[in-house]
Amino acid sequence: VRWERSLGAIVREKNQPMTPEAVRDKWEKVCDFDNASKPRTIQESITVLSDALTLIESQGSVSMNSTSSGSVVSSSVDMTSIVGQEVATNVYKYTHLEPILYALGVGMSTKDPDHLKFLFEGSEDFCCLPSFGVIPAQTSMFGSIPSLAGLNIDITKQNLTMCMCSSLLTGQLTSVSTVADVLDKGSGAVLLIDVNTYCGKDLVCYNQFSLFFVGAGGFGGKRTSEKAKVTANPPKRPPDAVISDVTTADQAALYRLSGDWNVLHIDPSFAMLAGFKKPILHGLCSFGFAARNVLKQFANNDVNRFKAIKVRFAKPVFPGQTLQTEMWKEGNRIHFQTKVKETGEVAISGGYVDLVAALDKPSAREPLKTSGLQSDLVFEEIGRRVKEMGNELVKKVNAVFQWDITKDGKTAMQWTIDLKNGSGAVYQGPARGSVDTTFSLSDEDF
């Protein structure tokens, strides 16, 4: 016995009802088994329906891609030719509402005082979770997939790498999606999609998605790529920290408001058709839980220390289950995995977060190094003023300045005035992070 299905036909357009006449007009195509596909699993079959819904939503008027009987890749598609292809540019506009909604979607609560700066726009330290950077990127990346003809995604097999370049600002972000590479895994193909997200001309976030396409393999391509960001197994010892979070029955319903409208996460009938007993939680929701746990446990919720994160989505999670984040510290890299406490299954594997090294703030008890320069007295006075007005100045200035003070043509002292992070700071030495402006002038001129 072999399961065959026709390619079918889409019989409605966006915001238009399906009519008997439309079905009648497409009936011959609906019943055409000349190029029938041969699904091996329910999940493989459901991707066609999911893609059709996505196409209707994104394009308004569409037609099904023609496929061969042995594969879900059109014979006309040269897989290697799409490498380097820019597949989408998406503009994402947002205010304080979207980061707050995202924070709630990944389990943050006003019950925890440490979460308030992610939930209250009036907080003095209001900011968004670093993992929020995946939201505009995902919108761009998934919007681009329908433009790659003949590909059906298996949503259970994804990898994600995200690197933060700077704090995201309220306003407008532009994400550009590019096919970095295509790998031949035999039973399917893996597409590496790079998404660069910009605020104006400044790169604020980089994401790499690794997507598995069922039945698209066997085209003679390479199996590995130097462009792929690889996962890393955790150390073989008990975790240094474990945090458990009980998700709510409405976790997926809340998280989807951040922009992932896949009905698999909300519609019981569709979930059953896809082979699940009920709707599953978004993988990126579990990802958000893990990311914020690492941030709190090892960076004291300092978003400026969050550098990069890599995960592999291994198993589905159901809303209401308990996510158990296990973490291991190895220098500035935090390895982690997420288990479903009720079943013991690993939902996220091979994950890690790279943190920026903690900055040692100079102790108030330690006297500043004296250099005998006239400018030292000025910087010491600036430091006193910053202590008094730092919070206000940071809000107004939002920049880091480095001063290279010279004497007899050589650099004699460096000072940094940080009016960007925390409540501001003035200290001797070069800037401990990125600097916005560097001034170089003589002690006498200063």
Return the active site residues.
260, 265, 280, 283
Number of other residues whose CB lies within 10 A of the CB of residue 124:
11
d(CA 90, CA 87): 10
Q: Given phi > 0 = left and psi -120 to 50 = alpha, else beta, which region is 31?
A: alpha
CB-neighbour burial class of residue 200 (10 A; exposed 0-12, middle 13-18, buried 19+):
exposed
DSSP letter, residue 145: G
d(CA 382, CA 387): 9
What the block records as the tokens of 371 is: 């250099």
Amino acid making up residue 272 = M
SS3 string, 431-443, reads: CCCCCCEEEEEEC
Residue 78's φ and ψ, nearest 5 degrees, are: -90, 105
d(CA 197, CA 166): 11
SS3 string, 168-207, reads: CCCEEEEEEEEEEEEEECCCEEEEEEEEEEEECCEEEEEE
The residue written with tokens 């703030």 in the block is: 361
> With DSSP H G I counted as helix, E B as strand and the rest as coil, what are the percentages for the chain, rounded to 5?
30, 30, 40
Which residues does 24 contact at the CB level (< 8 Å), separation at least 6? none
Coil vs helix vs strand at 159: strand
d(CA 164, CA 431): 19
Q: Are 159 and 209 in contact (CB under 8 A)?
A: yes
β-sheet bridge partners, residue 354: 308, 333
For β-strands 437-442 and 399-407, DSSP reports them as: parallel
Q: Given phi > 0 = left and psi -120 to 50 = alpha, else beta, which region is 107?
A: left
